[in-house]
Structure 1
Amino acid sequence: MTTPSTRTDVVIRTYGPGQVPPLVDTVADLWADAHPEIVDTPGAASDGLSVPALRRQVLSHVSNHQEGFTLVAAYAHGSMVGFGYAFPCSADYWFGSDLVPQVPERARTGRLMGLCELAVAPPWQGQGIGTRLHAALLTAIAPEWSSLLVRPDNSAGRALYDRLGYRYAGPYRNGPDGPVFDLLLMQVEAA
């Protein structure tokens, strides 16, 4: 594993859907390194929280969201140390019928970005890389609103999202037996 140096050594690259498939294995491995609390949890794989599930998720999103799909990756010394991906989507798709009524009207009708993943390798966390990746996604997609799901026990992720301006919008479950996530929503300030 590469050891961290200064943040100025980190380069952010942006990829469109056609460029993502060769990166999926690297992204999945980085995701696992960044989320050992998920990977090592009994039952995580049955909840869809595993490296193979992440690979399938990314490739499915690439296939189904060609218009605007964006992956950003942070590199230090030639190695990927963080990534995030998102795409524009409708409120009905992202929030689901149960949660749409709880979401502010402007978020239901404005340009919405669904932020699917944002992960930074542990030695590189706390250096502003997640913030830079998030900013790169906002620049590429130019939404009015951004939303994401976070596990309620992910205190480090939640602290970052709170600092970025996300607010709790309600509980979210992507299946009757799936885990409950916190759905967060942020209004993007115009530049």
Structure 2
Amino acid sequence: MNTPATPLVVRRYGPGDAAILLDTLADVWAEAHAGHDDVARAGFTPDSLRRQISGHAPHEEFTLIAAFAAGQIVGFGYGFRCSPAYWYGEQLLPAITPEARDTDSLAGICELAVRPSWQGQGVGTRLHTALLEALRTEWVSLLAMPGNDPARRLYDRLGYQYAGPYRPGPDGPVLDLLLLRTTA
């Protein structure tokens, strides 16, 4: 059980560590998205998360941050440095602000999930801060489900700006693409 006195420990992992954490990360993700029928309708499941992480982990600067309390993972986030063409795709690239489109210092944050019993306690902010410190880029981008108000409140507080709609494939859901210029 979490209490304000329960210490939170944040740990960083690299590309070689993702496979051993996959099942635990999928459990955290499933808890964080329980009751969000729009997520399942969009095709996002614990299995798709496992495939996504496995596909992203080979990126050289893949970084996973996990928050632990009492020895258990209570939240995680991950991302990696990438090119604007890779992250935004050819369809959206022309619509992105020129500074973010032409940068050679971009990271994509792919997931940020916190167990419900730990939400609203600053865990997401700590994970995000640790990711930014590890990735050290001028720009950060992420995708958010439209209508996920708690996540959007966090991203708005962190300074993200809406950049446009993003569809990860011809049959994929329409997501909100968000951009943040960091001080890196």
Whether the TM-score (by the shorter chain) exceeds 0.5 is yes
Aligned partner of 1:24 in structure 2 is: 22
List aligned pairs for 1:150-165, cutoff 5 A.
150-165=144-159
Deviation beyond 2 Å, 4+ runs, structure 1: 41-45
- 1:56 is paired with a residue whose SS is helix
Aligned partner of 2:63 in structure 1 is: 70
Q: When the two structures are aligned, how many residues end up with a matched partner?
A: 183
Asked whether the equivalents of residues 108 and 142 of structure 2 are also in contact (C-alpha less than 8 Å), the reply is yes
Asked whether the equivalents of residues 7 and 128 of structure 1 are also in contact (C-alpha less than 8 Å), the reply is no
How far residue 44 of structure 1 moved from its aligned partner, in angstroms, is 2.2
Cα distance in 1 for residues equivalent to 2:5 and 2:61: 28
How far residue 99 of structure 1 moved from its aligned partner, in angstroms, is 1.0
Cα distance in 1 for residues equivalent to 2:94 and 2:20: 39
Cα distance in 1 for residues equivalent to 2:78 and 2:163: 21
Q: Which amino acid is the alignment partner of residue 135 of structure 1?
A: T
List aligned pairs for 1:1-191, cutoff 5 A.
3-6=1-4, 9-38=7-36, 41=37, 44=40, 47-63=42-58, 65=59, 67-110=60-103, 111-190=105-184
How far residue 37 of structure 1 moved from its aligned partner, in angstroms, is 3.2
- 2:35 is paired with a residue whose SS is helix
- 1:36 is paired with a residue whose SS is coil
Asked whether the equivalents of residues 150 and 157 of structure 1 are also in contact (C-alpha less than 8 Å), the reply is yes
- 2:29 is paired with a residue whose SS is helix
Please give the per-residue CA displacement for 1:96-116, whole angstroms capped at 9, x wherever unaligned: 111111111211222001000
Q: Which amino acid is the alignment partner of residue 137 of structure 2?
A: P
Asked whether the equivalents of residues 83 and 118 of structure 1 are also in contact (C-alpha less than 8 Å), the reply is yes
Please give the per-residue CA displacement for 1:73-117, whole angstroms capped at 9, x wherever unaligned: 000000000000000011011111111111112112220010000
Structure 2 spans left out of the alignment, 5+ residues: none
- 1:127 is paired with a residue whose SS is coil
Query: What is the TM-score normalised by the length of structure 2?
Result: 0.95
Cα distance in 2 for residues equivalent to 1:27 and 1:127: 19
Q: Which amino acid is the alignment partner of residue 11 of structure 2?
A: R
RMSD of aligned Cα (Å): 1.5
Residue range with higher mean Cα deviation, 98-107 or 144-153: 98-107
Identity of aligned residues (%): 55
Cα distance in 1 for residues equivalent to 2:86 and 2:21: 26
Query: What is the TM-score normalised by the length of structure 1?
Result: 0.91
Q: Which amino acid is the alignment partner of residue 40 of structure 2?
A: A
How far residue 43 of structure 1 moved from its aligned partner, in angstroms, is 8.3
